[in-house]
Amino acid sequence: MNFYKFLKNEEADFKERYLKDIWKYNHEEIEKYHDFIQLIFPTNKQSMSVFHKYYLYDVKQIEQINNDKDIRENILYSANWFINFLENKSHWKSGYNHNQLRITRIIECLKLLVSDEEAHNFYKKVTSLIDDKNTINKMTYKYWEDALSL
């Protein structure tokens, strides 16, 4: 899969979905499907959670993506799209679940491909959604903070 073309919305992923198609997912689809997060928020680490094993293993491709303004804007759009999902669902705010892992990945992606500032902004948006009534595992906060310090 060519991440550069996929993130520019010029090429489909391995399931023939364009980035713009994934952005049309409703909240139930975002929750249900697990094979898209690693594609719209790629990192330089292979995921152990999905079968497709796509990740950014080429430093040149990371630089190419990092230097493309349109891709950075698309990644930020994806981050805001996911924040909207989090704002409208509350089940992720307790215990430990896959959406908390997704948040870690998004922070890592933003830091790698966009900027430290945007990674911190995303973290602040996520944590602003959590209040005293929520019971997120302390280890989750550590993962998020570790992602910020990579």
Query: What distance in Å separates the CA atoms of residue 28 and residue 44, rounded to the nearest whole number?
Result: 28
State the pLDDT confidence band at 121, using cuts at 50, 70 and 90.
Answer: very high
SS3 content of the chain, % helix, strand, coil (to 5): 60, 5, 35
- Report pTM: 0.95
pLDDT tens, 67-103?
Answer: 999 999 999 999 999 999 999 999 999 888 899 999 9
pLDDT tens, 7-41?
Answer: 999 999 999 999 999 999 999 999 999 889 999 99
